[in-house]
Amino acid sequence: MSVYKKWSQNEIEYIRNNHVSVPDEQLAVKLSQISGQKISTAMVRRQRRKLLLSKPRGRPVKSNVNDKIIDAEVKVEGVL
């Protein structure tokens, strides 16, 4: 038999503020530490979806290292 979790306003705000940059697993660990209750990844995911908050799909886009080097060279040449 499952027990219903009554989410506090602080917990909901924490999910709203951090859902894009922090994985659900880490949100669950942090919320468990804050509240002192066992909060699973599935509980966080369910609450996030209930709040209509979505995560970006796929892997994060990595910038090209060569572009950064070229940008740095242009900035240095512009200063001289």
**Over the stretch 32-73, which tens digit does the pLDDT of each residue have?**
998 899 999 999 999 999 999 988 787 767 766 555 555 555
Element (H, E) at 49: helix 41-50
Higher pLDDT: 34 or 74? It is: 34
Domain-by-domain residue ranges, the chain?
1-55
Q: What is the pLDDT of residue 2?
A: 64
- In one-letter notation, the amino acid at residue 16 is R
Residues 5, 43: contact at Cβ < 8 Å?
A: yes
The answer to whether residue 80 scores a pLDDT higher than 70 is no
